[in-house]
Amino acid sequence: MARAWHLMRRPNGMPVPEDFALKDFDPGALGDGMVRVANRWLSVDPYMRGRMNDVKSYVPPFALDAPMEGGAVGEVIESNDPGFAPGDMVLHMGGWRDETVAPATSLNKLPPIPGVEPQAFLGNLGLTGGTAYFGLLDAASAREGDIVFVSAAAGAVGSAVVQIAKARGMTVIGSAGGADKCDFVRSLGADAVVDYKAGPVLKQLAEAAPKGIDVYFDNVGGEHLDAALAVARKDGRFAICGMIDIYNEAQPTSLRYIARIIAMRLRLKGFIYTDYLGQLGDFYRDMGGWLATGQVKSRDTVVEGLDHTLDAFLGLFTGANTGKMLLKL
């Protein structure tokens, strides 16, 4: 038997431990074309909160009292498919559990890249880095010379955005909460940092960007999005990646400066990583090069043990992570 986290009821606001249960489950028999994988690393991400609601979205909601899903890196321990052998490391979506049996077609074998650890494929070489790359360079059409504002810049996606923007010759202003996280964002190369715990975001952003901003990469929504609207220059471009500020709120957000979309001819574009699966070759080429040269670096917050998965997930909403939040099994 294996163990997996189940969603037992739909959370009302901020999830609580009673919404979940860690249960034994049978991964199933190893039929033709199937592979058994022992998970080594699990990813927890803010988007998973949306899947806990019974609403129509770009991914189906989690089923109640069934193993949950998420990004994972695991080791093949048994295979009934010629394309996989024991010892192969694979990327797949059978997370929130210690073991899975899955069709070989749903697994991606990790390429052996010198100096790159397997968990990087859950971070800067995976959905996290790809979200940052495509959101900044395509959704926001960011280019050399732009002034870029990034919220949650000490988080997984935000820290990647900061480094990609600097690698492409942009001026970067990052937002983070607290002195330690702000220092981390500066260490990534940010030209200025807004500490949202130290005072109003708009006042600090206006001081950091007296000429305004060309691009806003939104991971937060709420006050950060409103401040970006207030200081955006004409023809500014916003990549709307996430709004973690409101994921656990019942009331809709309110934006005082939304009318500036008209005056400044702003473009706001929502996007998700899977929009760009056909362009992953470009991402791997560029990100692989930046990682090899040190222009992009990874920093992970690691929680150990399947029993502590909820600690890692709930920590995303209280600022417990710097960089990517990962669970090590």
pLDDT given at position 301: 95
Q: What is the pLDDT of residues 46-71, one digit of tens each?
A: 999 999 999 887 788 999 999 999 99
* % of the chain at pLDDT higher than 70: 99
pLDDT given at position 180: 95
- Whether 246 has a pLDDT exceeding 80, the answer reads no
pLDDT given at position 12: 92
Computed over every residue of the chain, the mean pLDDT equals 94
pLDDT given at position 292: 84
- Whether 111 has a pLDDT exceeding 90, the answer reads no
pLDDT given at position 249: 67
CA trace torsion 316, 319, 320, 324 (10° rounding): 60
Average pLDDT over residues 242-271: 87
Average pLDDT over residues 231-249: 89
Average pLDDT over residues 231-235: 98
Q: What is the pLDDT of residues 270-292, one digit of tens each?
A: 999 989 988 988 998 899 889 88
State the Cα angle at 211 between 295 and 190, rounded to 5°: 20
Provide DSSP, 1-16. Answer: -EEEEEE-S--SSS--
- Whether 36 has a pLDDT exceeding 80, the answer reads yes
Question: Which domains, ranges and CATH numbers included, belong to the chain?
Answer: 2-123+298-328 (3.90.180.10), 127-274 (3.40.50.720)
pLDDT given at position 86: 97
pLDDT given at position 250: 63
Closest CA to 185 of 220, 152, 211: 152
Distances (CA, A) of 181 to 129, 184, 201: 19, 5, 16
Q: Lowest mean pLDDT: which of 132-141, 223-232, 237-246?
A: 237-246
Closest CA to 239 of 137, 166, 125: 137
Average pLDDT over residues 31-43: 97
Q: Lowest mean pLDDT: which of 76-90, 177-191, 287-301?
A: 287-301
Q: Lowest mean pLDDT: which of 78-82, 110-114, 131-135, 169-173?
A: 110-114
Average pLDDT over residues 119-129: 93
